[in-house]
Structure 1
C-alpha cells in the first residue's frame, strides 16, 4: 500500500468508536509497520503531564528500554523541545542519538500538536539506511493530525 491508500485506513481506525485511544494508536502502529516495509519500529511517545519527559505509549517492533526520555535527549527528546520534524538518514552519524537496536539505521520523528501544544510524537525506526522522504514526512504529519483529534 502507498501513503494515499493508507490514509483512509488511518481514518477508519480513528473513527472506530468501539476502540479505546490506546487500541487505536496500537492499530495505527500495526498498520504502518505491516504496510511500509522500511518502517521496522513504530511507536508513540507522549509528554508525561507537566514533567519535561516523554513516556512510551503504544508501539510495535522490538522491545525497548527507552520507556522514559528526558526532553532534549535523543531524537525524540529533541523534537519535544524543538517542535519540529526530525529526520535522521544515518543514526551512526547523529549526535545525541539514543540507540534502540544495533539494526536501526535511520529514524523519523514527527510531533503531535493539540491546541498548538506539542503533546507527543510518532517515532519510526528503520533498518534501511536513508529511507525517509518528504512523502514520509507529509504522510506522518497527516497521521499525527488524525491522532490529535482523539487525544
Structure 2
C-alpha cells in the first residue's frame, strides 16, 4: 500500500466522514503502535482513505533544517527532502502556521509534484514553539480544503506531537 494511489471510489466524501470516530481510530493507532513508522503509516492511511478530496497525504518530519518525507499515500514525489523555508511545506514550518492554498499554481512557493494538484493544505506538527514536522495534503480539486479540514488536522497534529515526544497518554478527547 505504501506510496500507492487509492481509487477514489473507495474513499469517503468529506460530508459523511465521522470526524470523532476517525480521531479515535487515529488516537488508538498511535497508542497501540510498537514502532514509529508503523504508527505514522497508519495515520496517513486513515486520513487518506477517509477523505475523498485527499489525493496525496503525507507526513514530513523535521530533521535539522530540512523536512524529510516519512510516510505518504498518493503518487510518488521527488520532494523527499525539503529545506525549511522552501515551498509551501517549508514555509509552513518557518512560519509555524497552517497554510491552506486554494490554487497552488497561483502561489510562487509551490514545488510542483503533480500536474493534477490544484490545492494544498499543510498543518505543522508542533507543541509550543517546537516543530516536529507537518501533515501535507494535496487535492486535485481547487479550493478543496475548508476550516473543518484545518481544525481536524490540527487536532491530529496535536496527537502526533504528543506521540513524537513519547507521551503515552494522548488523552485528548474529541
TM-score by shorter chain over 0.5: yes
- Cα distance in 2 for partners of 1:102, 1:145 equals 31
Aligned to 2:42: 27
> Aligned residue pairs: how many?
148
Indicate which of 119, 140, 143 corresponds to 1:106: 119
Please state whether the residue corresponding to 2:163 is helix, strand or coil: coil
Q: Which residue of 1 aligns with 2:51?
A: 36
Q: 1:119 aligned to 2:132? A: yes
Cα shift readout 1:81-133 (whole Å, capped 9, x = no counterpart): 10000000011111111011001110000001145301210000011111101
> How far has the Cα of 1:59 moved from its partner?
1.0
SS in 2 for 1:58: strand
Residues 1:131 and 2:144 are matched in the alignment:
yes
Q: 1:96 aligns with which of 94, 109, 127?
A: 109
Instruction: Tell whether 2:29 aligns with 1:13.
Output: yes
Structure 2 runs not aligned, ≥5 long: 1-16, 165-174
Where structure 1 has 5 or more consecutive residues not aligned to the other structure, the ranges are none
Cα shift at 1:6: 1.2
Give the alignment's TM-score, normalised by structure 2. 0.81
- 1:2 counterpart (11, 18, 23): 18
1:20-63 Cα deviation digits (max 9, x unpaired): 11111111111111110000111111111x3x211111111111
Cα RMSD for the two superposed structures: 1.2
Equivalent-residue separation in structure 1 for 2:54 and 2:62 (angstroms)? 23
User: SS of the counterpart of 1:150?
Assistant: helix
